[in-house]
Amino acid sequence: MAALDEPLKKILGGTTAKVLAEHLDLHTVGDLLHHYPRRYAERGELTRLADLPLDEHVTVVAQVADARVLKFNGGRGQRLEVTLTDGSGRLRLVFFGKGIHKPHKDLLPGRRAMFAGKVSVFNRKLQLAHPEYELLDRTADDGDDAVSAFANQLMPIYPACQQMASWKIAKAVDAVLPSAQDAIDPLPESLREGRALVPLTEALLKIHRPATKADIADARARLKWDEAFVLQVALARRRRAETQLPAVARTLAEGGILDAFDAKLPFTLTEGQQKVSQEIFDDLATEHPMHRLLQGEVGSGKAQPLDALVLTPRGFRPMGEMTVGTEVVVPSGELAVVDGVFPQGEREVWRLVLSDGSTVECDDEHLWIVGARGAGERVLTTRELRADLLGADGRPQWSIAAATPVDLDGGEARPLDPYEVGRALADDGGRVPDAYRNAPLKDRLAVVQGLMDAGGEFLRSGTAFRAAPAPLADDLAWLVRSLGGSVRLVPAPGVDGVCDVAVALPDAFPPSRATAPTPGRSPGDARFRRAIHAIEYVGRKPVQCISVGHPAHAYVTDHFTVTHNTMVALRAMLGVVDSGGQAAMLAPTEVLAQQHHRSITEMMGELAEGGMLGGAERGTKVVLLTGSMGAAARRQALLDLVTGEAGIVVGTHALIEDKVQFHDLGLVVVDEQHRFGVEQRDALRGKGKQPPHLLVMTATPIPRTVAMTVFGDLETSVLDQLPAGRSPIASHVVPAKDKPHFLARAWERVREEVAAGHQGYVVCPRIGDEEDAPKGAKKGAAGSKGAAAKASSPEDAEEKRPPLAVLDIAGQLTTGPLDGLRVAVLHGRMAPDDKDDVMRRFAASELDVLVATTVIEVGVNVPNATAMVIMDADRFGVSQLHQLRGRVGRGSAPGLCLLVSEMPEASPARARLAAVAGTLDGFELSRIDLEQRREGDVLGQAQSGVRSSLRMLAVIDDEEVIAAARDEATELVTADPELSGYPELRIALSALLDDEREQYLDKG
């Protein structure tokens, strides 16, 4: 009997062992025993031919419907065509030349057999060319024991390859199956009994040769636990080992850059951000390396249009006139100076319409301090308010309190008595002069009292000024709001341009000198809050945000309190810099690295200019490092890092190069981690004197089970995943080869979006330089002559065609369907300045269409872009398509994403595209992606694909098993870290963690 580590060559012979090793990665008896059947066919069961996947090697059980020999090439050649059926569909087999004689004799109508081969398409019909087959219903007279071998049994269908059919693998398994008795059971006996799991030996016998379906269920349940438990023990030991590693504790320092930065912020952190920030700072303060995964949108600027009004001591001034040092009024009535101005380019702008008819404009990210009926105050974005504007009763549910009234002085003379000015205005209906608007409280109140005494009505039900011309009504409303009161403008019936103005003021400001005020109204009265009635789309406008040097981090704009948000990761980096360390942010593309660098320096202002003329005394230097930087700038950046002059560096893969040295690397922030391999992350982490802390960020939704398994040694924090209220994105698959007119219509849709004032993207997989083409591939051809000869189906030829390229497609579009539009290209080989220039022009609407590679996948934010056409969409993964699609639908107008593919309808690639088109739910798409790609080698470098260390466990389906195994493993490792009481488990762990995986896990 062979031991489980016995080479297969000794048991099966050299030829069979070589095929199993080269094509299925099976080398030992144990490997083959753990090569489980994919499914089982029952005697008499017909596999559904209608569900066969294109381009995959399959094994089917079916019946011959008919067979015929056809001649071609003038009778010189002949082929055998056999049609199979199963009641759900039909499948054609084809054999050529001398290879037709045996199948012609064997495959007679009515015969049943197992067939194995690669599914292809010819003349729009599925076929298997030269498949292998095993007859299942020969008689005993034929001298074949197939009937006895399969009678009344569940037939295992193994994952196979072209060189080794399923039934041949089954025979190889038969040869090694007795060795299952030597299998060492890794599960502790108490766990096995507590979970009612069968012994491992029994599970292996039942999975390969089940007598009943219950046998299969028992075996699968046990084998899933093996994989989940051993993996979770490995991760639990890794988590424990991390706590034993030395690291520099990065504790927060008072009075440092972080405090100065926070003081500049014109907002209070939201509850979610405070929670996540605290988790990060707690981790950084420990003397072992932080390993934290941060999911979600991690930062953005909240802004107002340049023509929005900001209240200053001299009256309202436009946002565009704000400069550092400008005095503004905060909601409490105090004065503070603007200590930061952050231009944000052009953005989509929205208008909040309040119950008194007043309005205020802002971007979708703007934060508002709002109150709800019967509840306290909350901080919500414009987007969140849009998505949840009305209560269940259909009434507005959010309101904004008035600002505290303050004295103003516009510096103009007020020669007339303000009360008499009001009385005169009531008679002639003119406008209130600016000198009496931007005036002390007593003067503004006097104007209101003069107006009301001359033209108002004072009733028990309230106070009103009747039939005021609209301009005067607006001025009166403005004055009342400036006094902390509320107003309501009602158009007078039957008269255009005339309003009745209902007025309510706090007790401190009686609306009349002649009539006693109604008592009981204080500034905090709910009647002085204004409900948000509607939020309207305005359009694109230049915007900016400001920070105010006041603990409230707020200012008054048209008497509405607003706040502002920033990056959680940036605060973590500043905390590390305060502790004497350096922080590095690794971004996947130059475009994103440049955006991060620009955003960070704008947000920090003079704090990002440490050591520079005009920089803050407590500041640090923020440098950018990318592969295409000029030599002089690169030398300076490297010098700033090695000397410690630069506390923060943002860069691409260039950060990993050997020449890059740090003075004291304390924190590594990896943005969009799914774009980086473990080796790349490890190379950057290895640049610290001691292991640096690690913060991994991703905006891609990760299901809980994947986080538990793939990121099992990372603690997880989640910010709001998908922004509520984002405009919908319609997605459609465009079958370019089957229906060329669909592609023509796609370009028409792009032109229609541009005609409507919007912009679009066209994404291609390749740049188009000759060096970028696959080796051996000829442009526009299927490949070499030999390859072409083998291309027996359209999808074969489609796969061999080089991916469509940016430079080619851009040229075709500018002279063809998009002729006359302003088209530009963007790709990774352009000079940084050129890339920046293209993105700037596109963001400024100076371009209509951007033809680009995936450099736009993350970090590019142009809300006016509404259309995206992805060429050769089948060449991209599900997550990548979802990320790309997220570049449109970011403004008020709906987004459109067209997935162009030349793959046939029945192909897996088309099924994948249909799944992407069918949902915008990132979590659902990540599930689909995993179901189609498998989990990849969770503990190895092959992070997706068939080489998975999980053979039975499906991460996406077995959440309960994984969660339970994690709990059991954590408890066991806590009690016995060295597993000294579990020798069998240690052996299984050694088998799982070969040298390569051990290194991988150490690098984490």
Tens-place pLDDT, residues 526-552? 567 788 999 998 888 888 877 676 655
> Strands across the sheet with 865-870, in order?
729-735, 895-901, 865-870, 759-763, 849-852, 823-826
Rounded distance, CA 586 to CA 858, Å?
Answer: 13
Position 898 scores a pLDDT of 95
Q: Provide Rg for the chain, Cα atoms.
A: 35
Contact, 764 vs 851, CB < 8 A? yes
Name the region of 644 (left: φ>0; alpha: ψ -120 to 50; beta: rest): left
**Of residues 610 and 891, more confidently modeled:** 610
Q: How confident is the model at residue 1001 (pLDDT cuts 50, 70, 90)?
A: very low
Q: Decide if pLDDT at 271 tops 70.
A: no
CA-wise closest residue to 175 among 19, 33, 40: 33
The tens digit of pLDDT for each residue in 422-473 reads 999 998 888 999 999 999 999 999 999 999 999 888 876 678 898 889 899 9
Q: Decide if pLDDT at 799 tops 80.
A: no
Average pLDDT over residues 907-936: 70
Position 25 scores a pLDDT of 84
Identify the three-state secondary structure at position 919: coil
The tens digit of pLDDT for each residue in 572-630 reads 999 999 999 999 998 877 766 776 787 688 678 788 887 655 555 678 999 999 888 88
Show Cβ contacts of residue 981 under 8 Å, excluding neighbours closer than 6 positions: none
Q: Other CB atoms closer than 10 Å to residue 909's CB: what's the count?
A: 22
Q: Which long-range contacts (CB under 8 A, 24 or more apart) does 144-147 make?
A: none
Rounded distance, CA 730 to CA 898, Å?
Answer: 8
Per the structure block, which two tokens stand in for 131? Answer: 């498949």
Could you tell me what percent of the chain has a pLDDT over 90? 26
Average pLDDT over residues 939-967: 64
For the ranges 251-255, 690-694, 937-941, 953-957, which has the lowest average pLDDT? 937-941
Highest mean pLDDT of the ranges 549-553, 650-654, 870-874, 996-1000: 870-874
DSSP letters, 893-905, are SPEEEEEEE-S-T
Position 591 scores a pLDDT of 65
Q: Decide if pLDDT at 517 tops 70.
A: no
Please give the C-alpha separations between residue 164 and each of 9, 35, 141, 147, 218, in angstroms, as whole numbers: 15, 13, 28, 21, 28
Position 721 scores a pLDDT of 36
Position 270 scores a pLDDT of 56
- Up-side HSE of residue 130: CA atoms within 13 Å toward CB? 8
Q: Decide if pLDDT at 794 tops 80.
A: no
Position 870 scores a pLDDT of 96
CA-wise closest residue to 939 among 859, 870, 993: 993
Kindly report the average pLDDT of the chain as a whole number: 79
Name residue, tokens 């080794």. 164
Position 445 scores a pLDDT of 95
Position 922 scores a pLDDT of 58
pTM score, whole prediction: 0.51
Highest mean pLDDT of the ranges 99-108, 586-595, 664-673, 813-822: 813-822
**Of residues 247 and 300, more confidently modeled:** 247
The tens digit of pLDDT for each residue in 233-257 reads 988 887 787 777 788 999 988 889 9
Q: Decide if pLDDT at 2 tops 60.
A: no
For the ranges 45-59, 95-109, 280-294, which has the lowest average pLDDT? 45-59
Contact, 726 vs 383, CB < 8 A? yes
Position 702 scores a pLDDT of 56
Average pLDDT over residues 10-25: 87
The tens digit of pLDDT for each residue in 654-695 reads 888 878 899 999 998 887 555 455 566 567 677 878 888 988
Position 784 scores a pLDDT of 33
CA-wise closest residue to 294 among 512, 41, 615, 567: 567
Position 460 scores a pLDDT of 67
Position 220 scores a pLDDT of 93
Per the structure block, which two tokens stand in for 648? Answer: 């923060």
Position 786 scores a pLDDT of 36
Contact, 870 vs 898, CB < 8 A? yes
Position 64 scores a pLDDT of 92
